[in-house]
């Protein structure tokens, strides 16, 4: 589960950088690199699933709780 969480965290960071570039520069690096086809949709789905995994991990294991 640690490996899955690390991969999910990296994908969430990549997704944040993509959205930052879309918002600031109106440039979508995923569409630029992979085209607007099925491969870019797979990347978007993986990033979305990573976000849900990270949310699940945060709610389930409460890594930010005070001791």
Domain residues of the chain, as ranges? 2-61
pTM for this model (two decimals)? 0.78
3-class secondary-structure state, position 67 = coil
> pLDDT tens, 1-26?
688 888 999 999 999 999 999 999 99
Q: What is the pLDDT of residue 59?
A: 83
Helix axes 2-25, 38-61, angle to 10 degrees: 120
First to last CA, the chain: 23
CA-wise closest residue to 47 among 60, 34, 59? 34
């Amino acid at each position: 589960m640690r490996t899955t969480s690390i991969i999910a965290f990296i994908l969430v960071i990549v997704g944040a950088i993509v959205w930052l570039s879309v918002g600031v520069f109106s440039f979508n690096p995923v569409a630029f690199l992979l085209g607007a086809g099925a491969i870019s949709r797979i990347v978007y789905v993986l990033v979305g699933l990573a976000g849900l995994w990270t949310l699940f991990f945060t709610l389930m294991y409460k890594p930010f709780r005070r001791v």
